[in-house]
Amino acid sequence: MDFTHDERTLDLVGRLEAFMTEAVLPAEPVFAEQAQAARDRGEPWTRPPVLRQLQAEARGRGLWNLFLPDAPDGTRHGAGLTNVQYAPLAEVMGRSPHIAPEACNCNAPDTGNMEVLAQFGTPEQQQRWLGPLLDGRIRSAFCMTEPDVASSDATNIRTRIRRDGDDVVVSGRKWWSTGAMDPAAELLVVMGQSADPDDEHVDRHRRQSMVLVPRDTPGVTIVRGLTAFGYDDAHHGGHAEVTFDDVRVPASNLLVGEGEGFAIAQARLGPGRVHHCMRLIGIAERALELMCRRASQRVAFGKPLAAQGVVQAQVASARIAIEQARLLVLKAAWLMDTAGNRAAHTEIQAIKVLVPSVVQQIVDDAIQVHGGAGVSADTPLAELWVAARTLRLADGPDEVHRASLARRELRRWADA
């Protein structure tokens, strides 16, 4: 048993922390100003230009595409790190979650899309889409969730992907397609049903397909941007509602083939959850730091807030919760690396359920210590809170994962 990171990881963490201190954190107010300026001139759905500078800086520092493991055949597109090696880097980036991941080309949903292309894409698909994504020249979106059904159950999905000669035709309505409001998001990765959802002859998990749809294909309509608790996340391309109205693309745009959608989605989930959770741990560390600083400086009723027992209890609970949550994420990452994603099933579900709730509570406490400043835009806390809260829903609500994890646990003893 050994809780230390290896040298390569420690080196990267050190360099990434320097990048955060020297470049990313100072850029936060610039980013906010540029986002507001873009909004004021009627172009809200674009990345603030400071991101380009930070990306150049990150590349120069060797902090680019850190997330991408080597392909099974050994091909290296990114940094070639394992999940355990990447985890602490994701945490550090999570301390400024609206800037740092994109500065290092490590932001969702592009990371997931790049992983899928690297793992499952044909050479042609990789050339057309993976290259520009790895290079940060374009962005992408993942179109999975639908407004009309409980999408946490993938077999519920109603978007159709119908074969028609050498083409496939996509019809349906998606929402929460993060990033898709930005014209730079040239690629939409779309999940849909390619078999009749009620055809009992086809296995329920073999009815879905995943297809690459250029955003400018006729029939694609970007309907509107959604808000999450008042935030439109415009500076990152927002969260789009998108309709697909008989959208025709070549069948060669299918990933792997018809009926493979569910399997690809599953492969995408494990690393994605580790990334999300580690970024959330970074959010929690940021919130705890802000809470401590504020508590030390703010005086009420004759003493600093830091001297109040209730604040101390919150600080302690936050530290304890962070420490154990981080270990469980690392354990999940380690299991994925050493035993495979399937062996890490329980741990992956556990962190999916656990970490957003824990971090939401820590940020909430930090807000409370900040008073009115905490809910305002003068601190990052309110926006960080929303990031944690929405992840209790994204990729399936807690309730679904908890029930699934429980059934597995119950089975262990039912047989015994």
Contact flag: residue 223 with its own copies (CB under 8 A): no
Among 18, 56, 343, 410, binds its own copies (CB under 8 A): 410
Residue 203: CB minimum distance to its own copies, A: 17
Instruction: Measure the CA–CA gap between 86 and 82, rounded to whole angstroms.
Output: 6
Contact flag: residue 266 with its own copies (CB under 8 A): no
Q: Which residues between 52 and 91 bind its own copies (CB under 8 A)?
A: 84
Q: Which residues between 121 and 180 bind its own copies (CB under 8 A)?
A: 145, 147, 149-153, 156, 175-176
Cα-based distances in Å from 24 to 2, 108, 272? 32, 18, 23
Residue 72, exposed/middle/buried by CB under 10 A (0-12, 13-18, 19+)?
exposed
Among 3, 7, 165, 198, binds its own copies (CB under 8 A): 3
Q: What are phi and psi of 163, to 5 degrees?
A: -70, 135
Instruction: Measure the CA–CA gap between 306 and 308, rounded to whole angstroms.
Output: 5
Residue 229: CB minimum distance to its own copies, A: 5
Among 86, 374, 387, 388, binds its own copies (CB under 8 A): 374
Residue 180: CB minimum distance to its own copies, A: 14
Residue 306: CB minimum distance to its own copies, A: 5
Residue 337: CB minimum distance to its own copies, A: 9
Q: What are phi and psi of 412, to 5 degrees?
A: -55, -40
Among 198, 201, 218, 301, binds its own copies (CB under 8 A): 301
Who contacts 415 (Cβ-Cβ below 8 Å, separation ≥6)? none
Contact flag: residue 22 with its own copies (CB under 8 A): no
Nearest in space to 136 (alpha carbons), one of 215, 45, 50, 59: 59
Residue 131: CB minimum distance to its own copies, A: 32
Residue 357: CB minimum distance to its own copies, A: 10
Q: Which residues between 276 and 295 bind its own copies (CB under 8 A)?
A: 288-289, 292-293, 295
* 3-class DSSP assignment, residue 249: strand
- Which of these ranges, 157-165, 186-194, 202-210, 324-332, lies near its own copies under the rule CB under 8 A? 324-332
Q: How many CB atoms lie within 10 A of CB 280?
A: 32
Number of amino acids touching its own copies (CB under 8 A):
97
Residue 211: CB minimum distance to its own copies, A: 22
Residue 401: CB minimum distance to its own copies, A: 8
- The token pair at 76 is 């290296």
Q: Are 381 and 366 in contact, with CB atoms under 8 Å apart?
A: yes
Contact flag: residue 346 with its own copies (CB under 8 A): yes
* Residue (51 or 353) nearer to its own copies, CB: 353
Nearest in space to 151 (alpha carbons), one of 173, 120, 123, 180: 173
Among 15, 128, 298, 345, binds its own copies (CB under 8 A): 298
Contact flag: residue 386 with its own copies (CB under 8 A): yes
Among 319, 341, 345, 379, binds its own copies (CB under 8 A): 319
Q: Are 100 and 112 in contact, with CB atoms under 8 Å apart?
A: no
Contact flag: residue 8 with its own copies (CB under 8 A): no
Contact flag: residue 376 with its own copies (CB under 8 A): yes
β 303-304/299-300 pair status: antiparallel
Contact flag: residue 345 with its own copies (CB under 8 A): no
Q: Is the dihedral of CA 130, 132, 134, 140 positive or negative?
A: negative
* Residue (33 or 246) nearer to its own copies, CB: 33
Contact flag: residue 41 with its own copies (CB under 8 A): no
Residue 398: CB minimum distance to its own copies, A: 7
Contact flag: residue 343 with its own copies (CB under 8 A): no
Contact flag: residue 36 with its own copies (CB under 8 A): no
Instruction: Measure the CA–CA gap between 236 and 181, rounded to whole angstroms.
Output: 8
Q: Are 76 and 118 in contact, with CB atoms under 8 Å apart?
A: no
Contact flag: residue 391 with its own copies (CB under 8 A): no
Report the b/e string of 249-264 with b at 16+ CB within 10 A: bebebbbbebbbbbbb
Residue 253: CB minimum distance to its own copies, A: 26
Contact flag: residue 407 with its own copies (CB under 8 A): yes
Q: Is the dihedral of CA 6, 274, 75, 114 positive or negative?
A: negative
Nearest in space to 275 (alpha carbons), one of 151, 412, 92: 92
